[in-house]
Amino acid sequence: MTNLTLRQLSYCDALARHGHFGRAAEACAISQPALSMQIKELEQTLGMALFERSGRKVSLTGFGEVFAERAREVLRAVDELEALARTAQDGLAGPLRIGVIPTVAPYLLPRIVGRLAGLYPDLDIRIRESITPTLIRELSEGRLDAAIVALPVSEAHLDETALFSESFVLVRPLEDAGRPVPDPDVLARMKLLLLEEGHCFREQALSFCGADAPRPRELMDGSSLSTLVQMVGAGIGVTLIPEMAVPVETRSAPVSVAAFAPPQPSRTIGMIWRRTSPIAPQLRRIAEAIEDLRPIS
């Protein structure tokens, strides 16, 4: 079995993850017929079917599940070999894949990219924005080098270092400016607008309110902090946002912003990476370089 190529393994991994030839081909930046041909050649080389095709649906066979997992391990090892080569250089160079959660990315990324470009001009920074569970999975699979998320993540195979902490603020309609800020018990009984399921910021807000069992009539979901603030401006309810989002999200909405009485709800933003990463020392240096970049509200 001498005809296996890393490219074929990469295509197999993409198809296993997406379960669709079109989406996998798009992810690999090739045409769908080319991807199909490569997968067919791979199966012919192996003498075994990797995928079961049923109309538009593509699923792994039993053998395919085992093979795809091993292929992913090989691809991760190749990535780490490339990273190992970068550690031998005097400074960081080449691609650096960083994941960032959506409640941080719009407000912090411009400063992060600017700082790193100045310190490491040969660094090719590649950004992936997604929710924390997705970033942790892709980091574990070797598809990301590091991620900026809310801590703690408490994953034994990941290192984490704090960058900064910030408080949450209350966003209300403009006519509510100057009114007493509700305490958590009162807030939990109000029409509270939150990010949709999967966002860690949603869980942090609910934890502060003590609303462990959300009541559908009193809670409404949004896909972004911008959506939530605009809904508040329309008089639909109230919401919580992190301090770093205030300058961007409130400048075009008729809302008021108020701080909570101590102890204020807050979160710690940090950077995480695999403990086994060959570029762990460099990633720690990057964390140190960006830990003072907290936006000023």
Question: Which pLDDT score, from 0 to 100, does residue 81 have?
Answer: 74
pLDDT in tens, 10-41: 899 989 888 888 888 888 889 989 988 999 98
Average pLDDT over residues 277-288: 89
Average pLDDT over residues 178-187: 88
CA-based nearest residue to 116, from 287, 268, 294, 295: 287
pLDDT > 80? residue 87: no
- With bands split at pLDDT 50, 70 and 90, how would you rate the model's confidence at 101? very high
Give Cβ neighbours of residue 175 (< 8 Å, ≥ 6 apart). Answer: none
Per the prediction, the chain carries an average pLDDT of 86
pLDDT in tens, 118-146: 888 888 899 999 999 999 999 998 889 99
- With bands split at pLDDT 50, 70 and 90, how would you rate the model's confidence at 216? very low
Instruction: Determine the Cα–Cα distance for residues 200 and 132; give it in Å rounded to an integer.
Output: 7
- With bands split at pLDDT 50, 70 and 90, how would you rate the model's confidence at 213? very low
Question: Which pLDDT score, from 0 to 100, does residue 27 have?
Answer: 87
Average pLDDT over residues 137-159: 93
Higher local confidence (pLDDT), 53 or 1: 53
pLDDT > 60? residue 111: yes
Average pLDDT over residues 213-221: 54
Q: Which domains does the chain have, with CATH numbers?
A: 6-84 (1.10.10.10), 92-164+267-290 (3.40.190.10), 167-266 (3.40.190.10)
pLDDT > 60? residue 212: no
Residue type, 243: E
Q: Are 91 and 139 in contact (CB under 8 A)?
A: no
pLDDT in tens, 228-246: 999 999 999 999 999 999 9
pLDDT > 60? residue 282: yes
Instruction: Determine the Cα–Cα distance for residues 75 and 98; give it in Å rounded to an integer.
Output: 18
pTM value is 0.72
